[in-house]
C-alpha cells in the first residue's frame, strides 16, 4: 500500500518537487510505464525522497497524457538525487534521450518549489 501524498508547507516549507509531463503514444505506453516503475523503484531508495504520484489525463487541451510529481525534503536532497539518477542510468546503460526519441515521447521536465506567499 502506498503512503498518501501530503503536502504540509507550514510544517515543511522547504519541500521541493520534480514535476514532469509526458506525451506518450499509446504504442509506447507499456514500455514507458515499465521504465517509470524501474526509475521510481530506484529513487525511492534515495535520501530525502518523500513521495511520488502519477497522473493520467482525463480531459483538457494539453497534449501531455501523463504527469508525475516527486516530493523531496529539500533542494539539497533533490540535487543529490539528480546526480545519483545520472550515475544509475550510466551504470545500467540507459540513454534517456535515445529512449525518449525511439518511443516518440515528448516531455516537459522541471524542478519546483511551493512559495508560501503564493498559497
Q: CATH number for the domain including 83?
A: 3.30.70.100
Q: Give 57's Cβ-side CA count (13 Å radius).
A: 13
**Res 12 pLDDT > 90:** no
Instruction: For 33-67, give one letter per residue: b (16+ CB within 10 A) or e.
Output: eebbeebeebbeebebbbbbeeeeeeeeeeebbbb
Count of domains for the chain: 1
Q: How far apart are CA 27 and CA 104, in angstroms?
A: 9
Per-residue model confidence (pLDDT) at position 110: 95
Q: What is the pTM of this model?
A: 0.90
Examine residue 31 and state whether it is found in any structural domain, yes or no: yes
Full domain range(s) for residue 53 = 24-113
Examine residue 11 and state whether it is found in any structural domain, yes or no: no
Per-residue model confidence (pLDDT) at position 42: 97
Q: How far apart are CA 65 and CA 75, in angstroms?
A: 27
Examine residue 42 and state whether it is found in any structural domain, yes or no: yes
The number of residues making up the chain comes to: 119
Amino acid at each position: 500500500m502506498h503512503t498518501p501524498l501530503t503536502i504540509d508547507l507550514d510544517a515543511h516549507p522547504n519541500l521541493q518537487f520534480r514535476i514532469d509531463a509526458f506525451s506518450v503514444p499509446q504504442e509506447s505506453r507499456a514500455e514507458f510505464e515499465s521504465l517509470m516503475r524501474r526509475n521510481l523503484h530506484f529513487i525511492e531508495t534515495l535520501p530525502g525522497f518523500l513521495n511520488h504520484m502519477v497522473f493520467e489525463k482525463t480531459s483538457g487541451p494539453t497534449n501531455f497524457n501523463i504527469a508525475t510529481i516527486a516530493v523531496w525534503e529539500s533542494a539539497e536532497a533533490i540535487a543529490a538525487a539528480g546526480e545519483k539518477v545520472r550515475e544509475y542510468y550510466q551504470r545500467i546503460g540507459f540513454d534517456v534521450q535515445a529512449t525518449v526519441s525511439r518511443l516518440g515521447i515528448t516531455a516537459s521536465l522541471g524542478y519546483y518549489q511551493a512559495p508560501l506567499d503564493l498559497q
